[in-house]
Every structure is written in C-alpha cells, then in structure tokens.
Amino acid sequence: MLLRSIRRRIALCGVTTAVLVGLTTAGVAAPAAAAPDAFRPQLVTVDTPTRADKQLLQTLGLDLTEHAGHDYVEVVLHTAEDAAALVAAGLGYDVRIPDLLAREAENNQLNAAYAAATERSPLPSGRDAYRTLDDYNADMAALAEEHPDLVKLFTLPHASLDGRPIYGVEIGRGVQGPERGLPVFLMLGVHHAREWPSGEHAMEFAVDLVSNYGTDRRITDLVNRSRVVVVPVVNVDGFHMSRTDGELVDLRTVDEGGTASILGTPGNAYKRKNCRLVDGQDTPDGTCAIAATSPGGYGAGVDLNRNYGGYWGGPGASDLFADPTYRGAAPFSEPETQNIRELISGRQVTTLITNHTFSNLVLRPNGAAPDLVPGSEGIPLGDPYDEDALRELGDEMAAQNGYTSQHAWELYDTTGSTEDWSYNTTGGFGYTFEIGPDEFHPPFPEVVDEYLGAGEYAGRGNREAYLIALENAVDPEMHSVLTGRAPAGAILRLKKTVATSTWDASIQDTLDTTMTVGPDGRYTWHVNPSTRPVVMDRQVETVSGDPVAEESWTGTTAPLQSTDQEFAVTQDVDLLEITLDWPTPDDLDLEVYRKNADGSLTQVGSSGNFVGDKERVLLQDPAQGTYVLRVINFASATPSWTLTAALFEAETSTVPGLVENWTLTCERDGRVVQRVPVVIDRGQQLRVNLTACGRR
C-alpha cells in the first residue's frame, strides 16, 4: 500500500523541485535527463515463438534475463549495437523499460521514502532497505555471536577473485559439536550480481529460523532435525560493485538554488557476472574494483550459473568471454563455484534452493530439453528420474507464492547450472526460485511482499515455500537413511568418485562426507541415494510409425496477410504436429489456436523461425476439438505454401541405468578399520552394523 502511494505521488507530481528537495534530505536524488542521442540501457521483450527463436537469440551475445515464456524472452540492451543485433537477426521486440538508469533512480527514491516512513519492516530482521556486502557479513557475524549454540559462522575455502572472503552460516541445535548425520538444507543467493532480492530472502530465512527457534513449534522441530546452511552472497565481487553503483547510478544532487549536477552513471548497477577480467587467469586483488567497466558491467566475467559441471558447455551457455552467459574456461573454473561444489560434495545436502530474480518461477531440473542429445552420452536427456516427486514439491512451493512451477528448460535451454549439477551428481533435490515479476532489484517493499506474501498469498509467500522445502529436506521418505551400531566417537565416512558428464566430455567429482558416532554407540545418518539420478533408468519419447491421421493444404497468402485452416482432433493421441513449408528462402510464420465452445480462439502454439527456416509446432497430448492453423506471410515474396497437420502415437522407451554404491568406512585414530559397500535407494532405510570397527 505504501509503495503504491509513493509511486502515485511521484507520477502525479513529476520530478518537481519540491519533490526533489524533499527526497534529497533523505540522501536520494532524481534521474538526470539523457542526452537526446544517447542510448540508455533498456529492458525489452523479444518475440521468440519457437524454440529455434530462443536458440537463435542465445547466439547473439546479448544479456538474457530469467524472465521468459513460451513465446518471449526479456533481454537487457546495453548499447545501440545490442538493439541492432536483434534487428539484424530478424527478432522483433517491444521496449518494456526504456531507461534502466532512470528506473534505478526512481527505485532509489522509492526506497528512501519507504525507509523514512518505516520504523521496522515486517521482515524477520525488520530491515527497511537493501543490505550492502558489509551488512550481510555483519548480520551473519551477529547471528553467530548472539546465538552461539544455534549458529556457526564459517568462511568458504576460496576467496573471490578480488580477494574477498565469502561467508555463510550453519544453523542447528548443537551446531558447534561434531556432525551427527542430520540432513542438510542449503540456501544460496546472488549468483548474478544484480539480483539483490536473492540474497535478501536467503538472509531473512536465516534470521527467521534463529529468531523463532524455541517459540515457534514448527521451526524449532525443523531446526532440531536438520542442519540449515545459508550462503546469501555467492558472487561477492559482482554484488559489491552492483550494489554500490546501484546507489549512485544516474542521480543528481539539488542545491539551494534549484540547479542540479550529475554525480555519475557507473556501469555496474546491472552487472550479471563475476569479476574474472582475464579469461582463465587471476589478477591482483582489488583489480576488479578499479577496472574500467564494460556496458552495463556485464561484458567481463563468468556467468557463475553456467560454470557448474553438470552438462557444462551445452546449450544456453556461451563460449565467448564477452557474452553475458559465458560459461568459463572450464567446469568449476571460478572460485565461487568451487566453493559451492566443495560445500555440497562435503555434506549430505538433501534439498537445495538457489535464489535468483526475476520471473515468479520455481524451476526444477533439467535445464536442457529432454530431446536434446549430449555428445558425451549419445542418447536424449529425457526427464529426471525423480520427475514426479520433483514436480510435486515444485508445485507445492509455487502454491504458496503464486509462482509458476516448471522445468528450467521451459524457460529456455540452460546448461552448467547449480541445481542441474547438484541433483544429477548427488541426488539431492534442487530448485531455482526466480523472485518477483519484473525487475532485478525492485523497490524494497516488493522484497518484503515476496518474502511474506501479499494479496491472496499474504502470510505465505517465499517464507512458507522455503519451510516446505526444509520439510522435504528432513523427510526420510525423500532421501535415504543408514542406521546401526559403531564404536562411540568413531568417524564414519561415505565416499564415492564419479564421472560427471559435461556436454561433450566428463569431469571427476568426489563426494566425501563424514559423521561422528555418538556416545551410546548408535548412529542414524541421513544421506542421499547411492546411485546418482543421471545414471538411473530414463524414459525417452519417440514418434511411433506413420501418422494415425493427416491432412494437407496448399494456398497463397499476400504479404502481411494471413490464411486460416481448420483441423479436427477426434481421438486421443500423443502428438499433434503442424508443419509449414514454402519454396523460397524468405519468411512465413505459423500460429495454432484451439477453438472454444463460444467460437473464440485460444493460442496453443506458434512458430516464427529465422528467415529461410521452415515452421513447425508440436503439441503434446492435444485435447480433442477443432484447431485453427494460421499461415502468416511475414516477409515472403512468393507467397505459396504447403501446410500439413498430422496426429501421432508416441512410443516410450527406457534407457537402462546403472547401480552405484557408496563406500562406507569406519575410522578410529585416523585409520580405516572397517570398509563396507552400501547400495541404498531413495526412501530406503538400511541397517549397517560396524561393530567390527571396535575390534583391535
């Protein structure tokens, strides 16, 4: 309510001297006017009605956001050359935010007004403004200092490229003691520098758990049964530059005479990547902070969410250093992703959430479409082995915040992402939350609403979704449990070394976790299944034989006009394929609609490939009814065409999988005394007595 009233006042008053003076007293100024011929960074919606369009867009080296649908992707244009690249590729677009620098200044005004009017926000911490990197570090340190039996501050093993330490907190009863085999829930934020809410929500969840422990029965039970690990800022260098530049971008000070001067327009407010300045080489600490910025601060660096090992180097990850989605010189080439790799490989992380902005999405594996074929494997990816359970949990979380639950590839193909690697390598469930509807770092009141829920989701929001994820992490039906007896104080170790498939080769991953047997000589260890999902059975759908029904039309359509044909689906089938062909290397487009009972049309598919590429729409499990197939002459000089609709049954085949084992060892005085191979599935409990470990 307050945010809407602030925006309304600004819209009504304009940027008047009175408003400027009032806001300046809060340390904020108004946007500077752009030079008439200057190109300002823009947020645009690019038309991508087909998967081929999305693939083409990914080849242009542009700054793609995580906001996309079946027929569009939102993109940040930093320069006039970026806009020209879209035009040259034949991709249409609409401008949604014409000046991101002005929008940044407006948000700063809104944030200052909110902070001035708010003594304490409804967030668990009561904060009323975005944190800086120093704020995060101070808040984590304070949690650990004030709650030493519940919170442990730790430093990840690798400093950033600019030499900054990267911190996290671990939360749990008796957290300072030895590992007792509890399931681990991992919460990550700020892989992409400009996505400030992703860190805020991670940090607020940590504060939430700690402040409500002992008074809220649900939270107390969950914390007692788990270890919660939170790393709110993975990309510390990039975030620090984005956050500090974001305070200053395109602002003015107002003197008593009413004139204004531009403080500056830094280039990192919308920075995406880390601070890798020279590909594959480190630079002296502090270099990133003094380096000249590229447009938008996105040209230099590695996209950390394309640098993880799982299917690294495949679709949706660029091999060009200057591109926004640059994957890095090698899998895990960056210290930030090495940190998360070692953290996950050294703990039994049964559920993981990595937070991003924006799109109001809950994304689950896989990142690449199921019919794509990695060169390293030679067979289609298929759906994840645990698809049903992954979807059920994703849907349950999305019901709390109003987001859309879907596969990551339904946004667009992505490889080298956090949860794809973690799920396929460890078996722990993993999700990406894309927080908020339409901005990388919106006005702070929206961060409050997204965490706590607003409107029909009030009292739920991401807070409730995170608690559901934590409940999944501690649910033994969703992972595996080892129990038995062993000498008190003995170190138990689960370990395996595996080959993780990249897109064209493989790398080696070692999972190595430990726990300490309690004084009563009994142990219960919550672990992930011994066989990785990526090597389990997978199902692949292929078209089975000739079409069960088919109809073709020929015709002509004048330039910039369209022609409709109707096709009836009168039986249950697996696939409806519509293809459009024409003789010349120019451009026709295809749209498909289903006719409703009242005669209205609902679009169910479209295809608008690049010039010369023919059009195709594929619908899975089409409902019976009448479909309208629309041929559009977008830019064809010879407007004759052939349109074909065909119904198919699909055949589901199973690619046989493997069975893997953990190696469980019992160690005393640094020496392995007993070694046992363990095969255990999800939802299974297995008793393994290690009493022989106590014999001399």
Exposed/middle/buried for residue 580 (C-beta within 10 Å: 0-12, 13-18, 19+): buried
Instruction: List Cβ neighbours of 567 (8 Å cut-off, separation of 6 or more).
Output: 551, 578, 626, 627, 629, 645
Orientation angle between helical segments 100-117 and 2-13, nearest 10 degrees: 120
Instruction: List Cβ neighbours of 665 (8 Å cut-off, separation of 6 or more).
Output: 492, 493, 495, 672, 674, 675, 676
Amino acid making up residue 342: E
CA 678-679-680 angle, to 5 degrees, is 110
Q: What are the structure tokens assigned to 409, written together?
A: 């590839």
How far from the centroid of its chain's Cα atoms is residue 240's Cα?
Answer: 20
Exposed/middle/buried for residue 536 (C-beta within 10 Å: 0-12, 13-18, 19+): buried
CB atoms under 10 Å from CB of 214, counted, come to 11
**Measured between alpha carbons, how far is 51 from 527 in angstroms, rounded to an integer?**
38
Of 356, 398, 434, 384, which is closest to residue 195 (Cα–Cα)?
356
Of 576, 546, 549, 551, which is closest to residue 565 (Cα–Cα)?
551
What DSSP letter does each residue of 361-382 carry, written as one string?
A: EEEES-SS-TT---TTT-S---
Q: What are the structure tokens assigned to 694, written together?
A: 């106590």
**Measured between alpha carbons, how far is 94 from 74 in angstroms, rounded to an integer?**
9
**Measured between alpha carbons, how far is 189 from 133 in angstroms, rounded to an integer?**
12
Q: Is the dihedral of CA 341, 347, 353, 356 positive or negative?
A: negative
**Measured between alpha carbons, how far is 270 from 439 in angstroms, rounded to an integer?**
11
**Measured between alpha carbons, how far is 434 from 419 in angstroms, rounded to an integer?**
13
**Measured between alpha carbons, how far is 103 from 677 in angstroms, rounded to an integer?**
58
Instruction: List Cβ neighbours of 22 (8 Å cut-off, separation of 6 or more).
Output: none
**Measured between alpha carbons, how far is 470 from 305 in angstroms, rounded to an integer?**
23
SS3 236: helix
Q: What are the structure tokens assigned to 390, written together?
A: 């992954």
SS3 591: strand
**Measured between alpha carbons, how far is 482 from 247 in angstroms, rounded to an integer?**
51
Strand 429-434 and strand 42-47: pairing? Answer: unpaired
Say how many residues make up the chain: 696
CA 161-508-301 angle, to 5 degrees, is 25
Residues catalogued as catalytic? 434
